[in-house]
Structure 1
Amino acid sequence: MSDTPPRPLPRHPGVLRRMTTRGREEEHRTATPLELFFDLCFVVAVAQAGRQLVHALAEGHPGHGIQGYAMVFFAVWWAWMNFTWFSSAYDTDDVLYRVVTLVQIAGVLVLAAGIPRAFDAGDYRAVWFGYLVMRLAMVSQWLRAAFSARGAERRTALRYALGVFLCQVGWLGLLFLPAHAKAWLFLGMAVCEMAVPVWAEHGQPTGWHPHHIAERYGLFTIIVLGETVSAATVAVQSAVDEHRGLGTLLPIAAGGLLIIFAAYWIYFAVPIHLRLISNQQAFLWGYGHYLVFGSAAAIGAGIEVAIEEATGKAHIATFPASACVTVAAALFMLTVWLIHSRHQKRGPVQQSVLPVSAALVLACTFAGRLAVLAAGCVAAVTVVVGVTLTARRNAADRRETASGRETASGS
C-alpha cells in the first residue's frame, strides 16, 4: 500500500455551519478559489490608485500624488489584510460566509470607483462608503465567530469586531475635516487600525496558518506585479501607436521588464513561512508588506511616467521621471530584504546584496534616458549574484555535512 497520506476531499458549501477556528498545524492548507477571486477584485482598486499616481506624477505634483496614493493604498491593503488573516483562522466556506465575502468584494469595487474623486477633489465619500460596506461585512464575520466560540477565543473575536467598528467611525473625519487635516487623520487612524490586531489577540491568538498566510501574501504579490506588467504594456502600446518612437521606448520597456522579473525572483527566493511562528513576527512581517505591495504597484506607475516623459506627454524632466521608477524599485528591494530575505541570509556578503543593489538602483537615476534600463540591469545582476552566493553556500553546507559524517563514521 502507498504511504502517501490521502488528500482531503473537496469541501462543498453548506447553508450554515458552526464557525470554528482552524489549527495552525492543519495539513494541505492552501488558498481557496474564493480567496483568489477576492484578491483579483482587490487589484482593481490597486490599479485605480496606480493610475491616479501616474497622472499626479506626470503633471509634476509628486507631493499630492504620493500622499493620495499612500492614503488610498492603505485603505485597500488594510481591508485585504483584515480578510486574509480572518479567513486563515475561520474559513467555514458555507453559503453565508461566501455571501458576506462577496459583499466585501462589492465594497472594494465601490471604493475603487471613488478613488479618482478622492485624488482630484479630496472627495472621500465613495471611498468611505465602499470601506463601510467592507468593514461592516468584516464585523459581521467576527461577531459570527464570537457567537460560535467560548472563553478567551470569544473575547478575541469581540475585540476584533469592536476595534474594526470604532476605527470605521474614526474614518468619518475624512468627510468633515478640512483638506490640510486629512493627512494627520490618516496617520492617526492608520496607527489605530494596526493596533487592533495586537490588542485583540493579546492573551488568545487566532488560529491563522503560517503556510497559508505566506501563500496568500505571495499570491497577492504576483497579482500586483502582474498589474504592473499590464500597466506598463498598455503605456508602451499607446506611446508606440501615437509616436512610433520604438527606439526611445525600448530601453524603458526592457529595463522595466527586468525590474519586474527581478522583483518576482527576489521576493520568492526564501521560504518565509518557516519564520512565521509568533504573532509578533507575523504582524511585523505582514505590516511591512504595505511598503512591499505599494512599491511593487508603484514600479508600474513609474514606468508609465517614464514613457510619458520620453514621448513628451509628461510635464516633468527626465531626472524626476526616472526617479519614479528607481525609487519604487529600490524601496521594494530594501523592504523585502528588511522584513523577508535577511532572515535567510548568512554572512555579511549575502546580507549586503539587496541593500547595496537598492543604493545602486537609486544611483541609476542619474543615467538620463537610460536610467530605467540601467536599473533593470542592476536588478538582473542582483538576482545572478544572489543565486550564485546561495549555490556556493549550499555546496559548502553539503561539504561540511559530508565531512561530519565521515568523521563520525571514522570514530
Structure 2
Amino acid sequence: MSDEEPNGEPNGEPPPPDRRSGVLRRMTARGRDEEHRAATPLELFFDLCFVVAVAQAGRQLVHALAEGHPGHGIPGYLMLFFAVWWAWVNFSWFSSAYDTDDVVYRVVTLVQIAGVLILAAGIPRAFDEANYTAVWLGYAVMRLALVSQWLRAAHSSAGAERRTALKYAVGVCLCQVGWLGLLLLPDRAKPWVFLVMAIAEMAVPAIAERRQQTAWHPHHIAERYGLFTIIVLGETVSAATVAVQSALDEHEAVGELLPIASGGLLLIFAAYWIYFAVPIHLHLASNRQAFLWGYGHYLVLGSAAAIGAGIEVAVEESVGKAHISTFAASACVTVPAALFMFCVWLIHSRHYKRGTAQQLVLPVSALAVLACTFAGGAAVLLAGLVGVATVAVGVTLFTRNPPEPEPSPQHS
C-alpha cells in the first residue's frame, strides 16, 4: 500500500505553507528549519526606504561635526539612528517569523515604510530644534502598524505563542506612549528620556520571549542584517562621492581630495570584506546568541553609516569649508572605522576565529586605525591602507588555519 494519505501528503504530514500572495491568510509561524529561506522583494524595498532616514541622520551629523559641535551632533545622531534602526529591527525579526506575504501583510508593511519617510522628514528639525513631533509621529505610524501584525499573529495562535505575540503588542504600545516624553518634557530631560526608553524598547523582546521563542530563521535573519549592512555601506559610498564632487566643482582641489577619496573607498571596501568573512547564521542557535548579536548591530551599522559622514567632514575640512582642525576631521573618519572593526570582531567574527593570531587581527587593526588620526592630511589614506592590510592578513591566516564548521544550530 502507498504511504500517500488522502490529503496528498506522504504519511499524512501537513503541506508546506503556501506563500503565494492572497488577500488574507492565517498568520502562522514559519519553520526555523525551512529550506531556501531568503529575503523577499518587499523586505529589500523596505530596507532601501529606511536608508533614506539613515542618510538624513548622517547628513545632520556632518553639519554638526563640520561646525565643531560634536557634543550636539554625536548624541543627536545616536538618538535618531536608534529610532530608525530599532524600527527596522522590529520589522525584520517579525517578518522572519510570520511573513505571510498576503495582501494585508504587504499593505501594513507599506504603511510602515510611509512611517519611516515621515520620520526621515522630521530628522532635520529634531536635530536642529529638538522638535521631535514629526519623528514621533512617523515612529508611531511604524509601531502601530507593527502592533497590528502582532495582533494578527496572536489571533492565529494559541497557548504560549499567542501570549508571546500579545506581550509584544502591549510592550510596543507602552513604549510608544513613553516616547511622548520627547514631546512633553524640557530639552534637558530628553537625553534621559531616550536612554530610559531605549532600554525599555530592548527589554520588550527579552520579556515577550522568555517563555516562548518566536520562530525566526537563522539564515534569513543573518541575510537580512547583511543586506542592510550592504545598503548602509552603499549609502556611505554615495555620500562620500557627493562630497568629493561638490568640492571639485567649487575648488578643483584634486591633490587634497584624492587621498581622502582613495582612503575612504579602501575603508569601505575593507568594511564589506571584514563583515562578510564568516557565515554567522550557524552561530545563531537561540535567542541568547541572536539577541546579543542583533542588538550589537546598533554600533556596527551606526559606525558604518558614520564613516561616510566622517569622509564628508574630511573633504570639507580639506577645502576650507569646515571649522575644525585636520586632527578633528581625521578623527571623524578613524573613530567610526575603528569602532566598526572592533564591534564586528566582538559580536560577529570572533566566533569563527581560531588561535590568538586570528583573534587579534581586528582589535589590533582598530587600534592602528585610531593611530592614523595623528597622521595629519594623510590620515584617511593611511586608515584605508590599514583596512587593506587587515583583509590581507585575515585572508592569509584563514587560509593557513581555516575554522572548523559549527554544527547546524539546534533550536530550543
Alpha-carbon distance between aligned partners in 1 of 2:267 and 2:65, rounded to the nearest angstrom:
20
Residues 353-395 of structure 1: CA deviation (Å, up to 9, x unaligned)? 000000000000000000000000001000000000000113x
User: Counterparts of 1:292-307 in structure 2 under 5 Å?
Assistant: 292-307=300-315
SS at match of 2:32: coil
Counterpart Cα distance in 2 of 1:377 and 1:160: 46
What residue number does 2:399 align with?
391
Q: Aligned partner of 2:368: which letter? A: L
Match of 1:329 among 324, 337, 340: 337
Q: 2:320 aligns with which of 297, 306, 312?
A: 312
CA contact (8 A) 2:19 2:100 kept: no
CA distance in 1, matches of 2:62, 2:28: 44
Measured against aligned partners, the alpha-carbon deviations of 1:65-85 in whole angstroms (never above 9, x if no partner) come to 000000000000000000000
Which position in structure 1 is the counterpart of 2:4?
A: none
Query: How big is the alpha-carbon RMSD for the aligned residues of Structure 1 and Structure 2?
Result: 1.3
Give, in whole Å, the separation in 2 of the partners of 1:12 and 1:153: 24
Residue from 145, 151, 161 that aligns with 2:153: 145
Considering fraction of residues, name the structure with more helix.
Answer: 1
1:366 to 364, 374, 380: 374
Task: Note the alpha carbon deviations across 1:292-327, whole angstroms, 9 max, x for none.
Answer: 000000000000000000000001010000000000
Between the aligned partners of 1:17 and 1:368, the Cα distance in structure 2 is 60
Match status 1:43 vs 2:51: yes
Question: In structure 2, how many angstroms separate the alpha carbons of the residues matched to 1:352 and 1:59?
Answer: 36
In structure 2, the residue matched to 1:163 is 171
Per the alignment, residue 74 of structure 1 pairs with 82
Q: Aligned pair 1:212/2:227, yes or no? A: no
Give, in whole Å, the separation in 1 of the partners of 2:364 and 2:210.
38
Show the counterpart of 1:20.
Answer: 28
Paired with 2:171 and 2:384, the residues of 1 have a C-alpha distance of 43
Q: What TM-score, normalized to structure 2?
A: 0.93
Q: Equivalent pairs: percent with the same residue? A: 79
The change in CA–CA distance for 1:168 and 1:9 in structure 2 (over 3 A counts) is: closer
**1:279 aligned to 2:287?**
yes
* Superposition deviation, residue 106 in structure 1: 0.0
Letter in 2 for 1:82: N
1:43-192 equivalence runs, <5 A: 43-192=51-200
Structure 1, residues 117-163: CA drift from partner, whole Å, max 9, x if none? 00000000000000000000000000010000000000000000000
Find the aligned partners of 1:287 and 1:258 in 2 and give their Cα distance: 27
- The whole-number CA distance in structure 1 between the counterparts of 2:209 and 2:17 is 32
| Runs of 4+ that moved beyond 6 A | none
* Residue ranges of structure 2 left out of the alignment (5+ in a row): 1-15, 405-412
In the alignment, what sits opposite 1:346?
A: 354
Instruction: State the shift of 1:192 in Å.
Output: 0.3
1:262 and 2:239 correspond:
no
1:57 positional shift: 0.2
Residue 240 (structure 2) pairs with residue 232 (structure 1): yes
CA distance in 1, matches of 2:294, 2:126: 26
1:176 and 1:192, CA in 2 relative to 1: closer, same or farther beyond 3 A? same
Q: Residue 290 of structure 1 aligns with which residue?
A: 298
AA aligned to 2:36 is: H
Paired amino acid for 2:234: G
Quick one: distance in 2 between partners of 1:180 and 1:354? 38
Structure 1 unaligned residues grouped into runs of 5+: 1-7, 398-411
Q: Please give the alpha-carbon distance, in whole angstroms, between the structure 2 residues aligned to 1:188 and 1:23.
A: 35
Following the alignment from structure 2 to structure 1, what is the Cα–Cα distance between the partners of residues 189 and 345?
34
Deviations 1:172-222 (A, max 9, x none): 000011111100110100000000000000111000000000000000000
State which drifts further: 289-298 or 177-186: 177-186
Structure 1, residues 246-297: CA drift from partner, whole Å, max 9, x if none?
1100000000000000000000000000000010110000000000000000
2:111 and 2:141 in contact (8 A); partners too:
yes
Matched residue type, 2:306: A
Q: For residue 11 of structure 1, report the CA deviation from its aligned partner.
A: 4.1
Q: Distance in 2 between matches of 1:144 and 1:355?
A: 45
- Give the CA deviation at 1:12: 2.9
